[in-house]
Amino acid sequence: MPKFWLMKSEPDVYSVKDLAAEKTKTTHWDGVRNYAARNHMRAMAVGDRVLYYHSNCKPAHVAGTAKVVREAYPDFTAWDKSDKHYDAKSPQDNPRWDMVDIKLEQVFDLPVTIDDIKATKSLAKMVLLNNTRLSVQPVTKSEFDTILKLASQLAKKGK
DNA sequence: GCCAACGTTGGC
DNA sequence: GCCAACGTTGGC
């Protein structure tokens, strides 16, 4: 049974379009420097499903879906002094931070906005709405399915 | 650009 | 081990 997750990215930094532009439609999810988020990545398995969320834009929204294609391994950007996310406390012989690889699955025709999510009663318990700062978070199967349903309804309506 | 929420750091 | 200060995230 796959598990379900939501991963946030600022579209100015790395958007779903950037992911779509990769030759393999795959990227490594570097730069997570928060223990709770890291632990969620460590709990991921190949085949798990991911909601790709664009934060820090208006309106914030789920832009599409992706799949985990490589399980947690050390985030090498923590070793690069020139990288924004360099961390001296994560040495090569004892890495503190991990990342996973994800592959793009689907880009929604129309984004599912945070307002759409707030307007949907069955999504009221999403971590997204209750622990707003967590950048990698678990999602239930029914929440995941509901978001997909919303996406196809919005696409049909042409909103 | 503001500010609330929250995670991390560091002094004690 | 507590907690105040500080920095960052992220919605508005």
- Whether the CB of A91 is less than 7 Å away from nucleic strand C comes out as no
- Whether the CB of A39 is less than 7 Å away from nucleic strand B comes out as no
pLDDT tens digits, one per residue of A104-128: 999 999 999 999 999 999 999 999 9
Q: Which nucleotide is closest to the Cα of A37 by its C1'?
A: B7
pTM confidence score: 0.94
- Whether the CB of A10 is less than 7 Å away from nucleic strand C comes out as yes
List the domains of chain A with CATH numbers.
4-157 (3.10.590.10)
Residues contacting A27, CB < 8 A, separation 6+:
A14, A18, A19, A101, A102
pLDDT tens digits, one per residue of A80-100: 888 888 888 888 888 999 999
